[in-house]
Amino acid sequence: MDTQIRNAAFAWLEQLTLIHGDVLPWEILYKGFDFVRQRIVPIGATGIWKPKVMELPLSITTSPNSPYNDAFTPDDLLKYNYRGTDPYHGDNVRLREVMKQRKPLIYFLGVSKGNYLAAWPVYIVNDNILDLSFTVAVDDMNYLKKTGELEVAEDPGTYSRRKYITSKTLVRLHQRSFRERVLLAYHNQCALCHLRHRELLDAAHIIGDREDTGEPIIQNGLSLCKIHHAAFDQNIIGINPDYQIKVRKDILEEIDGPMLKYGIQFLENEKLILPRNRNNWPDRERLEVRFEGFLKAV
């Protein structure tokens, strides 16, 4: 029964993402799905969640209010914190049992209030009692479907596959999370030109995510339409620490068509459109570092 419920949950999530995309609203997730005349709710108020009809947890969740409490381990796996500080809290004990039985779980990452990204199947692969955390690995659902086995035994091949998949999956989830939170802060519009079509908007890093201060936080992001994102990345457009927009000198002097004139040149000396919440305004120190790079390109 346990395995059947988990398989049904994975199939249900696959259908949800086909319909709604990969960002899933709480209201839909909390409605759950029917299984043998019972309602299975895969997410709840606690991070380690067990539906009433199951003996062991079905999912683990990182709250949208604190999306970076959990982080990568040195092995590129996910570090998931215990519930509280008691290793023998009931939820921690049950998750430890999930590890022993090699049961697959769902991982929900909160990207904004009421919105979640999901990854499945994930496995608890280590219990780190000294730092009050579990190690979590993502596996390949298509591969497991071919083998017909979800409770996979640990071996070097399994470890290598999961390490690779986990690294790729968590990077994708956190990039998607970054985009959702930045666009929400800017009310789904380009900070340079007011364009409001989400499908044409990106979350641009002020400092690249490979740099030391390039954290995926709202203060290191800008909501930009695709053309202005490309112009910002190529130092055609710069933004100084006073939130003033500057256009590279050679671009200002160039004569072309209306796209250049009204899409780029008109931005010279305009002010950035800022989030309503000052806490989400771009970090001035990061802008200064980025603007110095722009000036060198002028």
Domain boundaries, the chain: 2-183, 188-297
In sequence order, what E strands does 101-198 have? 105-112, 115-128, 133-138
pLDDT the model gives residue 70: 62
pLDDT, tens digit, for every residue of 231-264? 999 999 999 999 999 999 999 999 998 999 999 9
**The predicted structure's pLDDT at residue 224:** 98
Task: Report cis status (omega within 30 of 0) of the bond before 121.
Answer: yes
Concatenated DSSP letters of 205-231: ESS-TTSTT--SSGGGEEEEEHHHHHH
The Cβ of residue 227 has, within 10 Å, a number of other Cβ atoms equal to 18
Confirm if 29 and 71 have CB atoms less than 8 A apart.
Answer: no
Alpha-carbon span 112 to 109, nearest angstrom: 9
Could you give the CA distance from residue 129 to residue 87 in angstroms, rounded to a whole number?
7
In this structure, which CATH number among 3.40.1400, 2.40.160, 2.60.260, 2.30.280 belongs to the domain 2-183?
A: 2.30.280
pLDDT at 262: 93
- φ, ψ for residue 260, nearest 5 deg: -70, -45
Which stretches of the chain score pLDDT less than 50? 67-68
The per-residue pLDDT for 69 is: 53
The reported pLDDT for the residue numbered 68 is: 40
The pTM assigned to this predicted structure is: 0.79
